[in-house]
Structure 1
């Protein structure tokens, strides 16, 4: 199956939404493991490793739900699958790159790339939704 040409818009939205949910689970597990390894019961306990893992998860949790929502609505509106693949991939890889390269000691190029992909995908999705609201109302 060629994911760019054989998937429906709903399947494309499901693929990227599922991958982002799995990313959240992995990042959440990293927080739990950091807490357990550093014997922190609640919060970050003043531990830098736990704080960093918590912020990586928190940052993803702040952006991913909006992206999944946008993908779902765009799919319901019948946006072509290739568009959903572009938006979904940009958001997923933006979040993944950001998570892998985030450092508490210095800014990283990966952090900038990750945030840029995230913001670009959400900006484009938001604009598509707004445009579709007006174009769709003229036809419906």
Structure 2
């Protein structure tokens, strides 16, 4: 039996693991600062919370685009590579959010996130226009 949407499934599984890692990092700071609710007013806990939420906000669109492209029959090695690059960039962003000022990992994470989403969105539009 062939796996349906193998790139999407693999990407979603990896994204779930990254999300758990980001949540764990938030939990670590909550325990360390004894902050059970809310945030710390813009400090390290807030930055880690934002890193996780930013991941969730962006990754939903990324996974939808990956699935749509793969369903359209355009899933190939380039799509797997794009997914891997995106997910690594999101890890870099999470690590980079620990710094008070924009750090290199954070900048790389943001830029790669935007570039991959823009590329995937354009590719998806191209597929749709070719069908019309």
The number of aligned residues is: 131
Shift of 1:87: 2.0
Pick aligned residue for 1:11 from 6, 25, 30: 6
Scaled by the length of structure 2, what TM-score is found?
0.87
Q: Distance in 1 between matches of 2:26 and 2:41?
A: 14
- Return structure 1 stretches of 4+ with deviation > 4 angstroms: none
Distance of 2:4 and 2:109 partners within structure 1: 25
**2:16 paired residue among 8, 16, 21:** 21
Residue 57 of structure 2 is matched in structure 1 by 62
Q: Structure 1 regions of 5+ residues with no counterpart?
A: 1-6
Q: How many Å apart are 1:47 and its aligned residue?
A: 7.0
Q: Is the 8 A contact 1:74 1:129 kept in 2?
A: yes
Bigger mean CA deviation after superposition, 24-33 or 64-73: 24-33
Name the SS for the 2:5 alignment partner: helix
User: Which 5+ residue runs of structure 2 have no aligned equivalent?
Assistant: none
Distance 1:21 1:69 in 2: 14
Structure 2 partner of 1:75: 70
Aligned residue in 1 for 2:33 = 38
- Which residue is equivalent to 1:4? none
